Structure 1
Amino acid sequence: MNDLVFHLPDDTTVAVTVIRLLNAGYAGSDQDEVAAHVAELAELGVPAPKTTPALYPVAPYLAAQVGNVPVQHERTSGEAEWALVVAGATPQDLLLTVASDHTDRELEVHGVAWSKNAGLDVLGRGAWRLVDIEDHLDDVWLRAWVTRDGGQEQLIQEATLAALLPPKYWLDELGDLLVPGTVLLSGTVAMLPGVDQFADCWRVELADSVTGKVLELSYRVERMLDPIG
């Protein structure tokens, strides 16, 4: 289990002990596009899911609010996502925050679920109550930028939340699985062509174009020491 603390716009904080961590995958709102993407990944050796959207249980201790992500090699990358945090038993206790599912791309070709459990799910420290924004989720932008070798920051992902299945879909589908202490990551949007995803730094934001409010996270990717033996 892992303890997270979220800061809300009304200057209150909510502490959550994570007991269940779920990563959605292939969760685009246009499932025909998702099917085409699955076919593209299959050509790269990534095994196709048995069904879409998919859902991958992840070890709860991998949910983290950190500025550094340790990795075992250079072929890992983030994924811009939203995260639904079930902080209690009422609709007021459903929080939305920004997230990055940092994934091991070498391991991904052997099993997507394995790759999700080989890296941290980084979550923002700020959050919104879902009830306050669910009427205009399609007006919220999800963006990510990367930096490599001390160079200029580059935009790598950009879409509105209309591109992803909404929180309500998962609330209806999963029902009683979403007990207090559950964190669900949304799945991600397409990366822009020509940008190197194997970067040193990631920055991800949720930007509400109606209210002007922004949730943001950023972290450095740090290569661990090589194993001995």
Structure 2
Amino acid sequence: MFPLRFDVGGESVEVRVSTVLNGGYAGRSQQDVAAHVAELAELGVPAPSRTPCLYPVAPYLAMQTDEVPAQHGRTSGEAEWALVVAGPGERDVLLTAACDHTDRDLEVHGVAWSKQAGPDVLGREAWRLVDVADRIDDLTLTAWAGGDRIQRGTLAELLTPHHWLDELRARDLLHPGTVLLSGTIPMAGEVDQFADSWRVELADPATGDTITCDYRVRRMPEPVA
């Protein structure tokens, strides 16, 4: 199991990660999701058999890091929120900012494979879900690729954390050590997603509080083969 540490209102909370799941095609409007699936199919990305999707990935891919190594120039992030189950109680479910770094070349061969090729980068701060649950739809997600804003939206665009908690409970996955990423919001097509850095911000307009995760993308040496 792989530990993550979060600052939760000044308290340090350590979570030993045992299960990581990535939500996909997780827009609140499944009609819009269907249109997005059709657009991706035209680009060669295989359509899922159902939506929303849930992709298990290796636990070591959940990271708090300042640098992501990339094997080529066509990898990029996605602005997401993450649920982190830190303990058995309702107050132990944490919410933080996250960025799902994905191999876009591999994605056309299989979305599940592409999720295994890059890390899920999480913020170092978190909120208790119960403390923001009454205004969850007002929270905002923003992402910058190489300094240019590429994503901006609210959590109202995505399936709710409580939807995913119910899904985890039904699948007997709601246990300490589980991390779930939400799926993402639309990207601005005019911004180059294949940038040398990514930054995601989860913000609460009611309090002005923000949680961020940001990292550099470092190209690995070419293989010798």
Q: TM-score, normalised by structure 1?
A: 0.96
Matching residue's letter, 1:43: E
Task: Give 3-state SS (helix, strand or coil) of 2:44's partner.
Answer: coil
Runs of 4+ in 1 over 6 A off after TM superposition: none
Task: Give 3-state SS (helix, strand or coil) of 1:177's partner.
Answer: coil
Matching residue's letter, 2:139: V
Which residue of structure 2 aligns with residue 127 of structure 1? 126
Q: Equivalences for 1:80-159 in 2 at 5 Å?
A: 80-147=79-146, 153-159=147-153
Once the two structures are superposed, residues 152-199 of structure 1 have per-residue CA deviations (whole angstroms, 9 ceiling, x without a partner) of x21100000000001100111220212110000000000012000000
* CA–CA distance in structure 2, aligned partners of residues 170 and 78 of structure 1: 21
Q: Does 1:195 align with 2:194?
A: no
Which residue of structure 2 aligns with residue 160 of structure 1? 154
Which residue of structure 2 aligns with residue 26 of structure 1? 25
* CA–CA distance in structure 2, aligned partners of residues 66 and 92 of structure 1: 26
* CA–CA distance in structure 1, aligned partners of residues 223 and 189 of structure 2: 34
Quote how far apart the aligned CAs of 1:138 are.
1.0
* CA–CA distance in structure 2, aligned partners of residues 212 and 133 of structure 1: 12
Quote how far apart the aligned CAs of 1:227 are.
1.0
Q: What is the CA RMSD across the aligned residues, in angstroms?
A: 0.6
Matching residue's letter, 2:102: T
Which residue of structure 2 aligns with residue 4 of structure 1? 4
* CA–CA distance in structure 1, aligned partners of residues 174 and 150 of structure 2: 31
Report sequence identity in percent: 65
Which residue of structure 2 aligns with residue 13 of structure 1? 12
* CA–CA distance in structure 1, aligned partners of residues 14 and 202 of structure 2: 21
Gaps of 5+ in 1: 148-152
Q: TM-score, normalised by structure 2?
A: 0.98
Gaps of 5+ in 2: none
Which residue of structure 2 aligns with residue 227 of structure 1? 223
